Amino acid sequence: MIHIIAQKAVFGGDCIGKINGKTVFIGSAAGVLPGEELEVEIVLSKKDYDKAAVKKIVKTSPHRTQPFCPHYGLCGGCNFQYASYAYQLELKKNIAQDLLVRSLGNEGAMPQIQIVSGPDTEYRSRFQFHSGGLKQRKSDDIVRLKDCPCAVKPLRTLLQSGALAAKKVLNTERMTVFADERLIGGTKEAASSKIVCASDASPVCTISLNGKCLSFDVRGFFQSNMHMLEKTLPLITKDLRGKRLLDMYGGTGVLSLFAAENFESVTIVESDKRSLSFAETNYRNNGIHCKLNTYTMRGSEWAQKHLKQGRQKSASFENRLETEHFDALIIDPPRTGIEKEVIDYIAASKPPIIRSLSCDPATHARDLKRLVQAGYTITDFRMLDFYPHTSHMESLACLIYSGNR
């Protein structure tokens, strides 16, 4: 056995330490926290790093706590319950800080990272059930649930009563369910009035959020933590105003919808046709009267098209883009990050204000470096804890163009 001290947490939930100066990634089913003394076994050795499995925790961290869920360690959901919630937030902030420093280097001054969090239990509205349960970690075996402390109250009540497990729809191989007190309508049964299943007669969810009604298909993507979404929306839309707003990777339009009344026109680019149709419905149902332009295409396609048009129709590319100038950009890419073509378009068109939301801090750090190199300054950065008790984190960066237009 090899003795090692865990030094810091890294993205994904593992910790790293050093053995004879060589970096060692330390993984454990029970989790590892910085400062813990461990006995480990090397399970993979590479030129620049090793991977180790924990055999014994010799000295535990004062931040270690007993997981509160009886399914912890089996269910593939939470993987961070072994740390107190306050310490989880500190670890995630440090992980985001490390990624930004590594990516940005001397590219620009780093703003202080702010933490935005909400309830750490009864927060999750959206679930994907498999054959009536949740998949085990790193396995296709099913964990049968009688409760989930992270599920919102309407769903948790049904889990505890057994009524949800009795619904035949959940005996299918895969089923998406959305539940929330903010839900308008739901299934016909009184006990299930705050739940929509993908196999319901109408798998459309409509929720009341921050004074607006939002509709979406339960089978499509939508945020799972309504508490955090309510907190995040004002952070994205604060001080956004002008003539034209671009919502890139806009989904159902939920982000731009709350800023639209401060603009004459909004352009939404989204590759999923059904999501975009909901965006149009949401604008219409909420009485948003600005001009709405929608494009069903990948962000890279839209960016290439507009870059090409700019070069063809004007001898001065910058002058052409000025006629299509957006006063602000909201961008929320998939986990893979902002496409290169979209970055190129932003660098050429230079919208003065950007709100950049991301579900992957590593690709976010990479993309922010590109934007800083294009002349932008990061004025605010927030770590958004949409998924407490997991290593997952989201982040929001506010940027302004500080270079020469």
pLDDT in tens, 196-234: 877 666 789 999 999 999 999 998 889 999 999 999 999
Structure tokens at 390: 């997991």
Q: What percent of the chain has pLDDT over 90?
A: 70
Segment holding 136, helix H or strand E: none
The pLDDT of residue 399 is above 90: yes
Per-residue confidence (pLDDT) for residue 259, from 0 to 100: 97
- CB burial of 91-110 (b: ≥16 within 10 Å; e: otherwise) equals bbbbbbbbbbeebbeeebee
State the Cα–Cα distance between residues 216 and 204, nearest whole angstrom: 6
Q: Which CATH superfamily is domain 2-64 in?
A: Nucleic acid-binding proteins (2.40.50.140)
Q: Chain centroid to CA 319: how far?
A: 36
The pLDDT of residue 3 is above 80: yes
State the Cα–Cα distance between residues 272 and 194, nearest whole angstrom: 26
Answer for the pair 80, 13: CB distance below 8 angstroms, yes or no. yes
State the Cα–Cα distance between residues 304 and 310, nearest whole angstrom: 10
- Measured in residues, the chain has a length of 405
Per-residue confidence (pLDDT) for residue 313, from 0 to 100: 54
Task: For residue range 245-261, list pLDDT tens digits in order.
Answer: 999 999 999 999 999 99
What CATH number matches the domain at 87-119+225-401, 3.40.190.10, 3.40.50.300, 3.90.220.20, 3.40.50.150? Answer: 3.40.50.150
DSSP 345-396: HHHHH--SEEEEEES-HHHHHHHHHHHHHTTEEEEEEEEE-SSTTSS--EEE
State the Cα–Cα distance between residues 368 and 73, nearest whole angstrom: 35
Contacts of 3 (CB under 8 A, 6+ apart): 37, 38, 39, 58
Residue 22 main-chain phi, psi, to 5 deg: -95, 135
Which is catalytic among the residues 15, 75, 197, 359? Answer: 359
Answer for the pair 207, 184: CB distance below 8 angstroms, yes or no. yes
Answer for the pair 280, 294: CB distance below 8 angstroms, yes or no. yes
Answer for the pair 82, 31: CB distance below 8 angstroms, yes or no. yes
CB atoms under 10 Å from CB of 152, counted, come to: 28
Task: For residue range 313-363, list pLDDT tens digits in order.
Answer: 554 444 444 446 899 999 999 999 999 999 999 999 999 999 999 999 999
Single pTM value for the model:
0.91
- Per-domain boundaries in the chain: 2-64, 87-119+225-401, 126-217
- Residue predicted with more confidence, 75 or 185: 75
First CA to last CA across the chain, in angstroms? 60
CB atoms under 10 Å from CB of 294, counted, come to: 18
State the Cα–Cα distance between residues 170 and 129, nearest whole angstrom: 7
Answer for the pair 84, 65: CB distance below 8 angstroms, yes or no. yes
Task: For residue range 127-182, list pLDDT tens digits in order.
Answer: 988 877 888 877 888 888 889 999 999 989 888 887 666 655 455 567 888 999 99
State yes or no: is 359 an active-site residue: yes
Task: For residue range 249-297, list pLDDT tens digits in order.
Answer: 999 999 999 999 999 999 999 999 999 999 999 999 999 999 999 999 9
Task: For residue range 77-103, list pLDDT tens digits in order.
Answer: 899 999 999 999 999 999 999 999 999
State the Cα–Cα distance between residues 30 and 6, nearest whole angstrom: 14
